[in-house]
Amino acid sequence: MRGGGRKIASASGVSGIFWVLVLPYIATMYGRRISFLIVTLNSIIGNIVFYCSSTVLQIIVAEAMLGAARSCINTVSPMIVAEYTSPQYRGLFLTIEAVCVFWGIWVANATGTFSHWKNIGIIGIVFSVYTSTALFWPESPHWLAAKGRVEKCTSAYRWLHSSSNKSKAELEFLIAGNKVENSGNVITESNKNNLAVKRLTEVVAASNTKEWTRITSAVELLLLVKDQEKYAELTAKLL
């Protein structure tokens, strides 16, 4: 019995090795959303198999399938949190993600202790169905920008972050940065600085038309400028 318990406990970890290698590739080639939906579908099926299991072998198979979700926590999920949320909230969401892992372990153990162990499968099915809301997500703006799909990137970014001046500035810098990367150049602090300076120069040139919303966006980009002399020059012109 003890040997069987060890096999069951290790099944998800062993299968997770495969998923750790595959999920980042899928996320890079086909998008974050697709990779997350694959994990979600796999988790629904795995939890159904777990609930319907009547032998140790069937439970091991179910646990092996659920290794995808375990691997997703360390691969695709951090990508999604980083690319779908605003910078000021990323730390909070990453902390919540880590806490939820341990909370889920506690719930599973408590459920198995005070009720029938198959109820763990029911809870897993409910939460897996909940994560299927990813069907309604847009694709990651960062992935779309990296693939050169500017229109879809813009639409997705606005869906996630609204159309505020700050969001517009971040979106423009995201697209510009990926254009440099796709051109074969290395993204460095110097390149980022040059992109910011170029954008600011354009805004200053248009400032006589009183496009104040563009000037507000430029103020956000001023923080990216490392050249102090250029910073002072552009600030003086904007003011």
pLDDT band at 187 (very low <50, low <70, confident <90, very high): very low
Q: Regarding predicted confidence, which is higher, 164 or 74? A: 74
Question: What pLDDT is attached to residue 5?
Answer: 52
Cα–Cα distance, 125 to 223 (Å, whole number) = 46
Q: What is the mean pLDDT of the segment spanning 113-131?
A: 92
Q: Is 70 exceeded by the pLDDT of residue 72?
A: yes
Question: What pLDDT is attached to residue 25?
Answer: 93
Q: What is the mean pLDDT of the segment spanning 110-116?
A: 91
Cα–Cα distance, 205 to 199 (Å, whole number) = 10
Residue that is written with structure tokens 């995808």 in the block? 68
Q: Is 70 exceeded by the pLDDT of residue 182?
A: no
Cα–Cα distance, 150 to 163 (Å, whole number) = 16
Q: What is the pLDDT of residues 188-202, one digit of tens each?
A: 555 555 555 555 555
Long-range pairs for 77-81 at CB < 8 Å and ≥24 separation? 77/36, 79/27, 79/32, 79/140, 80/32, 80/36, 80/140
CB–CB of 191/185 below 8 Å? yes
Cα–Cα distance, 83 to 160 (Å, whole number) = 10
**Complete domains list, the chain, with CATH:** 2-137 (1.20.1250.20), 142-238 (no CATH)
Long-range pairs for 93-97 at CB < 8 Å and ≥24 separation? 97/73
pLDDT band at 239 (very low <50, low <70, confident <90, very high): very low
Q: What is the pLDDT of residues 126-177, one digit of tens each?
A: 999 999 999 999 999 989 988 888 889 889 988 988 777 777 777 777 777 6
Q: What is the pLDDT of residues 18-71, one digit of tens each?
A: 999 999 999 999 999 999 999 999 999 999 999 999 988 899 999 999 999 989
Question: Among residues 218, 179, 223, 173, which one has the least CA distance to residue 200?
Answer: 218
